[in-house]
Amino acid sequence: MIIDEKKEKTIRELLIEKDEVSLVESDGKFIGPNDKYEAHKYPTKLHLAISVWLFNSKGEVLIQKRSKKKIVGGDWWANSACGNVWPTETFFDCANRRLEKELGIKGVLIKPIYKFTYKAYGNQTYGEHEIDQVYIGLFNNQISPNPDEVSEIKWISFKELYNAFSGFDYIHPDQTLLLTEDELKQKTAPVKIKLKGNEYLLAPWTVLMLKNSQLYDAFKKLFE
């Protein structure tokens, strides 16, 4: 089989330029591609996404401060990597693409944990409405953050981060689906926490995941 490398490169470049998302029905059935900006404008459209949590051998989790260039969540702290699934790729492919794009990480072994559907307020123009596949993995090597995507990274104790939300009252993902834009602004605001003298303004989707025991259970299994 002869592959036209020039044509293949052109397709890849077009995908990167368009950066389309995968619109889906509530059951995850694919509807079609949509422009990233249009999908995130209110009223937001349901699309596929991934979230990755990377842990090191010390039991620490890698968190990142999102670049100011992000259309949603700029300057907020979030989990290791997030991203929208392109119409031409799987959840797994997207997770690996975003790890490389955001952090310069290749070949890390990640595994899926669970999916959840949610809405969240981002700013006056854009918000989130996603079916989000959550992944976890172990990683102890070098990280090369892309400044267009990430302004800062930090390894922190996952147990301390998780315990910071023990008993914390925050809306359940299912409840967000029923809220108006104004209600989302009030009930899915980013959350400011303080750990060892450092303050972090955490993105709402990161908080939603930290409130799910499945994430903590998966973390414990990594170290059994």
Whether residue 6 is contained in a domain is answered as no
Active site residue 20: no
Three-state secondary structure call for residue 88: coil
What pLDDT score does 7 carry?
A: 55
Active site residue 130: yes
Whether residue 84 is contained in a domain is answered as yes
- 78-131 pLDDT, tens digit each: 999 999 999 999 999 999 999 999 999 999 999 999 999 999 999 999 999 999
Q: How far apart are CA 93 and CA 184, in angstroms?
A: 30
Torsion of CA 63, 68, 72, 75, to 10 degrees: 40
Three-state secondary structure call for residue 83: strand
Mean pLDDT of the chain: 93
Domain membership of residue 50 as a residue range: 13-222
- 25-83 pLDDT, tens digit each: 999 999 999 999 999 999 999 999 999 999 999 999 999 999 999 999 999 999 999 99
Whether residue 5 is contained in a domain is answered as no
**20, 102, 128, 130: the active-site residue:** 130
Whether residue 182 is contained in a domain is answered as yes
CATH number, domain containing residue 61? 3.90.79.10
What pLDDT score does 48 carry?
A: 98
Whether residue 3 is contained in a domain is answered as no
What pLDDT score does 35 carry?
A: 97
In the chain, DSSP assigns E strands to 21-24, 30-34, 47-55, 60-66, 77-78, 81-84, 110-121, 127-138, 150-157, 191-195, 198-202
**20, 82, 94, 102: the active-site residue:** 82
Give how many domains the chain has, as a whole number. 1
Whether residue 67 is contained in a domain is answered as yes
pTM of the model: 0.92
Whether residue 2 is contained in a domain is answered as no
